[in-house]
Amino acid sequence: MNHDFLWGGAVAAHQVEGGYDAGGKGLNVSDVLTAGSHTRPRLITPELNRDCFYPNHEAIDFYHRYREDIALFKEMGFKCFRTSISWARIFPKVDETEPNEEGLRFYDGVFDELLENGIEPIITLSHFEMPYYLVENYGGWSNRKLVDFFVRFAKVCFERFHHKVKYWMTFNEINNQANYKSDLSVFTNSGIIFKDGQDKEALMYQAAHYELVASARAVQIAHEINPAIQVGCMMAMTPIYPYSCNPDDMMGSVGANHKRFWFVDVHARGRYPNYMLNFFDRKKFELDITAADLEDLGGGKVDYIGLSYYMSFAAKGRKENINLDYDEAKDLCDNPHIQKTQWGWPVDPVGLRYTLNWLYDHYQLPLFIVENGFGAIDKLEDDNTCHDLYRQEYLRKHIEQMKLAIEVDGVPVLGYTVWGCIDCVSFSTGEMKKRYGFIYVDKGDDGSGTGNRYKKDSFYWYQQVIASNGESL
């Protein structure tokens, strides 16, 4: 492992900060999401409702406690820390002429504190937290105007922070919305609330196109401001294996992977792959894709590929499947070789090595594993310890596979940041009890608790991993 390998942890602004109306911040999409659970979906409430609990409003109060948290990250030996900038802190309504100075100052404070502690900030511009004003007044990313709004936000961030932040990402898990039947994914990725009679699928492809153009333009602006800046994309990497060696299953998995991963083709190669263009024709989608957009895409290829990796899936094929007409709800199936977590997420460490190989074979760009982790119910003992051996086990197995990809397969990986390095609000369920952290936060699903921080056993384990540069697992 290179001596400059970036070991660290990752969170997102809306899942840790709280302070949802502090410092002039506007509402963002996560602020109107209620708490849910594994079996009860989070609701999108167009008006804030007093009878509902909104877990992101306070989250773990990183907004006020970030110095204490960064001290703990330093104690673990973090080389880097990934978080995001809440767009609604910088442009609460987005169409203001000037950015909100108080919001910018908050991030100055966080980045300075990190750098003073020898920790490099890794920053996502949009991590499921666009201003809610854009949803209400523009219909989210279904509207081309968002390209300019986003580019302006990105430019303000690059200009202000380019001396403090080298590695950036534009849109977190942009490909989550490939599952356009999930209202939560499309809302959090693109700020779209579907209306009756709308063609959800076409709308998702339109929104994704605008996001890809906005990302490409942001990459170009970043390089103009400071050629040393590295801007990546960020993909949710869930490889989809063929269920068996039956050729139909194999073709089913090709279609399933195309449907999830065409986004990275556009980000990395600067153009749409042929299978997408054929698909748009076949579906007779009338998408607003201009010649100027295609030029922007070509000029704004990403510098590296950021990825989250939690799980893999398996797919069965059907005779009538035609590539992207693959239907995840019908065709994904359980992989009999793989166990699942309490939240039903399949655990497949070898899939990480496969993913790293697949991405590097396709794009020959450096990779950055910016999320990997294990959500579980942890028990805080009476003496404030927490024996989370299962988490160490999960991470150990994944790090071993990452090392094989790097050392045996020759895949260049810039770093590895463990998701939810400090317990935070779960994105999919809004729960606190789905914990990922090395640091336990005393906070319940209903917002109760002191908010105090306690080191879990995995805290000391990860400290050793970093100190030995991945030798002691």
Q: Which residues are catalytic?
A: 173, 371
Q: Which is nearer to ligand BGP, 296 or 371 (CB)?
A: 371
The reply to whether 427 sits near ligand BGP by the rule CB under 6 A is yes
Nearer to ligand BGP, 401 or 428 (CB): 428
Q: Coil, strand, or helix at residue 293?
A: helix
The least CB distance from residue 429 to ligand BGP, in Å, is 6
DSSP three-state, residue 214: helix
Of the listed pieces 25-33, 92-100, 107-115, 428-436, which binds ligand BGP according to CB under 6 A? 428-436
Of 346, 182, 318, 201, nearest to 254 by C-alpha is: 318
Is residue 142 within the footprint of ligand BGP (CB under 6 A)?
A: no
Q: Smallest distance from the beta carbon of 289 to ligand BGP, in angstroms?
A: 27
Angle, helices 183-190/200-225, rounded to nearest 10 degrees: 30
If the CB atoms of residues 173 and 211 are measured against ligand BGP, the closer one turns out to be 173
Question: For residue 134, what are the CA distances in angstroms to 25, 140, 191, 454?
Answer: 14, 5, 7, 38
The residue whose two tokens read 């906005």 is 214
- In terms of CB distance, is 73 or 243 closer to ligand BGP? 73
Q: Is 434 in the site for ligand BGP (CB under 6 A)?
A: yes
Candidate residues 215, 401, 428, 458; the one interacting with ligand BGP per rule CB under 6 A: 428
Cα–Cα dist 321/375, whole Å: 34
CB-nearer residue toward ligand BGP: 342 or 448: 342
The strand pairing partners of 240, in sequence order, are 313
Tokens of residue 86, six digits: 């809440």
With contact defined as beta carbons under 8 Å apart, do 420 and 408 qualify? Answer: no
Helix/strand/coil for 399: helix
Q: Is 426 in the site for ligand BGP (CB under 6 A)?
A: yes
Nearest-angstrom CA–CA distance, 17 and 55:
11
140: exposed, middle or buried (Cβ count in 10 Å: 0-12, 13-18, 19+): buried
Q: Is 461 in the site for ligand BGP (CB under 6 A)?
A: no
Among the listed residues 352, 448, 336, the one whose alpha carbon sits nearest the alpha carbon of residue 404: 352
The residue (of 392 and 429) whose beta carbon lies closer to ligand BGP is: 429
Does residue 419 belong to the site contacting ligand BGP (CB under 6 A)?
A: yes
When asked if residue 126 is in the footprint of ligand BGP (CB under 6 A), the reply is no
Q: Which of residues 166-185 bind ligand BGP (CB under 6 A)?
A: 172-173
Candidate residues 28, 30, 177, 308; the one interacting with ligand BGP per rule CB under 6 A = 308
Task: Kindly state the smallest distance separating residue 310's Cβ from ligand BGP, in Å.
Answer: 7
Interface with ligand BGP includes 13 (CB under 6 A)? no
Least distance in angstroms from the C-beta of 424 to ligand BGP = 8
* Residue 302 near residue 267 (C-beta atoms within 8 A): yes
In the bound complex, what is the minimum distance in angstroms from residue 53's beta carbon to ligand BGP?
17
Question: Which residues have a Cβ under 8 Å from the Cβ of 355 and sit 6 or more positions away?
Answer: 237, 239, 307, 309, 312
Q: Which of 114, 165, 236, 297 binds ligand BGP (CB under 6 A)?
A: 236
Query: Six-digit token pair at 217?
Result: 């333009």
Please work out the total of residues on this chain that contact ligand BGP, with binding judged by CB under 6 A.
Answer: 14
- What is the identity of the amino acid at 468? S
d(Cα 163, Cα 159) in Å, to the nearest integer? Answer: 9
Determine the Cα–Cα distance for residues 163 and 272; give it in Å rounded to an integer.
33
Binder among 375, 415, 437, 470 for ligand BGP (CB under 6 A)? 375
C-beta of 426: minimal distance to ligand BGP in Å? 4
Closest CB 208 distance from ligand BGP, rounded Å:
17
Site string for ligand BGP, 19-58 (x = CB under 6 A): ----------------------------------------
d(CA 375, CA 343): 8
User: Minimal CA–CA distance to 335: which of 345, 327, 326?
Assistant: 345
Residue 187 Cβ vs ligand BGP, minimum distance, rounded to whole Å: 14
Q: Where are the alpha helices (DSSP H) in 83-199?
A: 87-90, 101-116, 132-138, 145-161, 183-190
Between 396 and 415, how does the x/- string for binding to ligand BGP read (CB under 6 A)? Answer: --------------------
For 198, what's the count of Cα atoms within 13 Å in the CB-facing half-sphere?
16
Residue type, 133: Y
| Residue 203 CB, nearest approach to ligand BGP (Å) | 21
Binding-site member from 8, 9, 12, 309 for ligand BGP (CB under 6 A):
12
Stretch of residues binding ligand BGP (CB under 6 A), selected from 75-83, 224-232, 277-285, 425-433 = 425-433
Q: Kindly list the residues in this chain that would bind ligand BGP in the complex (CB under 6 A).
A: 12, 15, 172-173, 236, 308, 371, 375, 419, 426-429, 434
